[in-house]
Amino acid sequence: MPNIPLRDILIIARQESVQMRHHYIGVEHLFLALLQIQGGLLSLILEKNGLSAEYVADTLRRKMERGSSQRLWVGIPYTPRAEVVLDIANDVMLDNGNDEVTERDLLHAIFIEHDSLPIRVFQSMKANLVALKEAVLTLTPSNEAILSSTAITFGEAFDRNANIPREHLFVLRKMFASHASIRIERNLTGFRREALIVVVTPIQADNREDAPVVAKIDQKDSILDEVQRYETYVRSILPLQTARLEENPTVPDASELAGVKYSLVANVGDIPQDLRQRTRTHGTTGLGRLLQHELYEQFRKTWWQQKRAYRFQVWKEYDWLLPPILTLDYVPDREPPPNAHHIKIPFNRPKLKSRLKDEIQFGDIVVLENFTVQKVDRQQDLLKLGIGYGSEADKRAYRMDVRGVHLARSSFYRGEVIERIIGRVMRTRNDVLLQAVRDLQPPFDPRTRWVTLGEHRLPNPLLAYEDLLDRHLNGSMSRIHGDLHLGNILIGPNNRIWLIDFGNTRDGHTLFDWANLEISLLGDALMPSLGDEWKTVEEVLDSLIWLNSDLPMPSMNDEVFTAIASITAVREVVHECLTTKDNWYEYFVALTLCALRAVTWDSMSLGGRRLMFMVAGLALLELNRKYLNTPSHTPPIDEGELTDHLPTPVSGDGSRLTSSGSGTGSRAALPATAPLNPEPQETPERALGEDEKLLLLQAIEPAPPESTELSKPVDPDEPPPTPKEPIP
Amino acid sequence: MKGTLEVMIMSGVEDGLPLNYSIENGDGELTHEGQRWVIRIGRREDSDVCLRNDTFVSRVHAYIIWERERWWLEDNNSTNGTYVANGDLDARVQGTIPINPGDLFRIGHTWMRIQPVTE
């Protein structure tokens, strides 16, 4: 009994449509899809009536003119007639007491409707339509009908709740077209986008199983970008036994998606899992040893131990992590009003920074010039722009998101430089971050200089990140993975470690990977098992403070203890990778910004995000502690200067930010915001007076004077550059 | 004069879309002292039959006309032409030709036909 469900037929129909540049699904596309089912009902019916499927398909295609390259509508809609046919098919299905439309129901519906192009083609062939319709109801193909040559089954470890979208299945079948079937063993959790990553066992026609591979399916340009990065940065330097990207990605014409395979050099039956999955059964036990002795040892020579001297301004490596600087609503191309703000690349960073802070407000018109397309997100209708194109982190800095461009109708591509695009300011980076922190329902006011959790008083990262981005670091550059978290590290039998997902691999700040890994250990592995309570966050914070100090060890439960042990292992790796021996400054800068980024992640648990915010604060505290430990004097804190750095919400999406306000007089004219008390709500200096450790909190460092690339940066915290390093 | 017309789109993204017109509702244009009813087909937004998704359609492409008790199809010197089905080849319409309900004709790339109004 043939039973090809409608959803599989629709995939083929959509393909047909896109290949002919029609971009709509009509009855003719559905019919062509039915013709492609090998051994299916339609082929059989035609055969019994002296027609071949190829002949009918060919005649039909000639009647369907190829569409033009212009698309005048959004998406791939059904024609009114296709909708009628699908409605009839649904009725037929219900009449037959079934719960899924099959090829027979659909074919029956096409004959009932009787007015579509395929029917007209039959008429022009003088085919006997009565006999054909009769055959739809009576004939049954003897063999199993096959839509695709590759069958898909699922292994035991596959999470049945994970629904793989059919378009992903379509690409997956294409990827394994030369195999009789595949078994999807496991879905990996290591993705934060729409990507699908699964472990697949390919099975030959004679039922022989091949070694498992990892298949990744994602947006086309993401896959192609990853392949390119792999070629540039990874292929030549991988340790012998690790995941390798197979040479050619699968890029089907008719899909927005593409797929790549990572071969693992594994034995048949060795099904790897990612480390995040492992923590669900094993907790963080043994994780530190794995990271330090398997992962680091395997890769350090070609990756993190390259350590070329690299002095950089923090934003170049870390700005791209944070939310877009502006989120704009697209304004269709017209002459911008005279009071529009122009942001043109190249720009002067200090000037732009002060304009962003003081001039550009919610609702203003902004003209972006010479920005580069980073990503075209058709699903969310979001155009993501940055300052350049390339794998280096600074090319992705200064992200600007433009919404509502009707991307389905426009032809932007990744890497394209857009001469001019106009939009209305809906949100700033500060808005996004502040809202993310509000969503955590913090027991403190996220707009004050200090945040208090239990006994901990930490500097507020929301007020400090801007200055952090301006600082200069004496760091080092190595080849880095770029997105190292527990989900991207696979483990097989005998603790063999593989890395996957090279979509961000590049030459960059050496410590970035390890700061990310610490974030992942805390946020992905530890917090989900502990829960979301602030009280829990506080306890974990106790342990982390201990990690950074010489204080006696606080009491902690086993779970926290093993997690801290694995972080200790990460810190040992970091210690080896530090540019200047025992100077942790660069690490805590990285950790602050990585943690702050994670606060905005929907995919992280509430408890995880809560901890992330506090970790960012704690890392800031550490920074300042280092600062105080240098022999130089403690600069007094200028109240005014600090309040200047208050995130200034511009009342983005309607009213949810209306309770917030501006800390600077220059924005007094801001609409719909209540004035904010410019005084900090606490006087932490006094409260902390007796506690030596908390005294350190005062040292929120004012930003160093803006310096151009040519002048020697002024950063009292930084040790002078080593003589070997050229001063630019 | 009392008149109604149903045009059915027969190809393209709007395949299967029925469009109804009646003199009573003020559709089309009445001329010659009410003896001639004209329905305009074109890409322009104010066309009676507006084919905005077909770039091969001229702004004012063709007319469907009720006159002397029957339907006529008139091409308005369109760039890409008006055609009627004629076996495997399509025949280009020159000037005005008579058409019957059920006959398929093509405006640009879009096939359509006139048909009795469905109640």
Token pair, residue A60, equals 């039909």
**A76, A115, A119, A126: best to mutate for the B interface, most B CBs within 10 A:** A115
Sole residue written with tokens 């915010």: A613
Contact criterion met (CB below 8 Å) for B19 and A125:
no
In this structure, what DSSP letter does residue A5 have? B
CA distance A648 to A658: 11
- pLDDT given for residue A548 in this prediction: 79
A72, closest residue in chain B (CA to CA): B53
- pLDDT given for residue A312 in this prediction: 95
Contact criterion met (CB below 8 Å) for A312 and A472:
yes
Token pair, residue A282, equals 């094993």
Contact criterion met (CB below 8 Å) for A489 and A275:
yes
Which among A24, A65, A70 has CB closest to B13?
A24
A70 and B13 in contact by Cβ < 8 A? Answer: no
Q: By the CB < 8 Å criterion, does B13 face chain A? A: yes
- pLDDT given for residue A97 in this prediction: 85
Q: By the CB < 8 Å criterion, does A79 face chain B? A: yes
Which among A23, A64, A79 has CB closest to B14?
A79
How far does the CA of residue A92 sit from the closest CA of chain B (Å)?
Answer: 20
Token pair, residue B102, equals 């059920």
A700 has pLDDT over 80: no
Mean per-residue pLDDT, A12-28: 86
B13 and A22 in contact by Cβ < 8 A? Answer: yes
CA distance A488 to A493: 17
* Between B118 and A130, the higher pLDDT residue: A130
Sole residue written with tokens 């492992």: A278
Which among A64, A77, A81 has CB closest to B16?
A81
Q: By the CB < 8 Å criterion, does A58 face chain B? A: no
CA distance A378 to A327: 16
- pLDDT given for residue A653 in this prediction: 40
Cis amide leading into A346 (omega within 30): yes
A678 has pLDDT over 80: no
The crossing angle, in degrees rounded to 10, of helices A585-598 and A606-629 is: 160
For chain A, give the percent of residues with pLDDT over 90. 41
Mean per-residue pLDDT, B21-48: 90
- How far apart, in Å, are the Cα atoms of A659 and each of A170, A438, A441, A530, A654? 48, 12, 15, 32, 11
Strand partners, B92: B83
State whether the Cα torsion A35-A39-A45-A50 is positive or negative: positive
Q: Is B16 left (phi over 0), alpha (psi -120 to 50) or beta?
A: left
Q: Is A415 exposed, middle or buried (0-12, 13-18, 19+ CB in 10 A)?
A: middle
Q: Where is A30: in which H helix or E strand?
A: helix A27-35
Instruction: Give the count of alpha carbons within 13 A of A16, CB side only.
Output: 24
> pTM (2 decimals)?
0.63
- pLDDT given for residue A296 in this prediction: 93
Contact criterion met (CB below 8 Å) for A701 and A686:
no
Contact criterion met (CB below 8 Å) for A609 and A601:
yes
How far does the CA of residue B80 sit from the closest CA of chain A (Å)?
Answer: 14
* Between B119 and A346, the higher pLDDT residue: A346
Spacing of C-alpha A413 from chain mean position: 18
3-state secondary structure of A196: strand
CA distance A673 to A660: 6
B15 and A83 in contact by Cβ < 8 A? Answer: no
| pLDDT band of A242, cuts 50, 70, 90 | low
Contact criterion met (CB below 8 Å) for A249 and A216:
no
Mean per-residue pLDDT, A224-234: 87
- pLDDT given for residue A12 in this prediction: 82
B16 and A83 in contact by Cβ < 8 A? Answer: yes
How many other CB atoms are there within 10 angstroms of residue A127's CB atom?
17
- Chain A from 92 to 131: CB within 8 A of any B CB: 115-117, 124
How far does the CA of residue A258 sit from the closest CA of chain B (Å)?
Answer: 27
Token pair, residue A543, equals 């342990």
CA distance A53 to A531: 59
In this structure, what DSSP letter does residue A631 have? S
How many other CB atoms are there within 10 angstroms of residue A716's CB atom?
11
A272 has pLDDT over 70: yes
Mean per-residue pLDDT, A353-365: 91
Cα–Cα–Cα angle for A401, A338, A346, rounded to 5 degrees: 50
Phi, psi of A250 (to 5 degrees): -95, 115
Q: Is A351 exposed, middle or buried (0-12, 13-18, 19+ CB in 10 A)?
A: exposed
Query: For chain A, what is the radius of gyration of the CA atoms?
Result: 30
CA distance A55 to A204: 32
Sole residue written with tokens 């591979």: A213
Token pair, residue A346, equals 């190249």
Most confident of A220-234, A367-381, A581-595: A581-595
What is the per-residue pLDDT across A611-650, written as a single tens digit (0 to 9) for each?
999 999 999 998 887 654 433 333 333 333 333 344 444 4
Token pair, residue A440, equals 């955590």
Token pair, residue B57, equals 């359609």
What is the per-residue pLDDT across A201-217, written as a single tens digit (0 to 9) for each?
998 878 888 888 999 99
* Between A446 and A662, the higher pLDDT residue: A446
Query: For chain B, what is the radius of gyration of the CA atoms?
Result: 13
Sole residue written with tokens 């340790």: A239
B15 and A68 in contact by Cβ < 8 A? Answer: no
Residues 6+ apart with CB under 8 A from A115: A81, B16
Mean per-residue pLDDT, A236-256: 75
What is the per-residue pLDDT across A465-487, written as a single tens digit (0 to 9) for each?
999 999 999 999 999 999 999 99
- pLDDT given for residue A432 in this prediction: 96
CA distance A674 to A671: 9
For chain B, give the percent of residues with pLDDT over 90. 61
Strand partners, A274: A490
DSSP letters of A565-606? HHHHHHHHHHHHH-SSTT--HHHHHHHHHHHHHHTT-TTS-H
What is the per-residue pLDDT across A136-163, written as a single tens digit (0 to 9) for each?
888 776 555 555 557 888 888 888 777 7
CA distance A442 to A427: 22
Q: By the CB < 8 Å criterion, does B11 face chain A? A: yes
Q: Indicate the average pLDDT of chain B.
A: 89
Question: Chain B partners of A83 at a C-beta cutoff of 8 Å?
Answer: 16
3-state secondary structure of B111: strand
B15 and A23 in contact by Cβ < 8 A? Answer: no
CA distance A256 to A259: 11
Size of interface A-B (CB pairs under 8 A): 45
- Choose among A65, A70, A116, A112: nearest CA to A87: A112
Sole residue written with tokens 């012998």: A240
| pLDDT band of A241, cuts 50, 70, 90 | low
Q: By the CB < 8 Å criterion, does B90 face chain A? A: no
Strand partners, A214: A199, A262
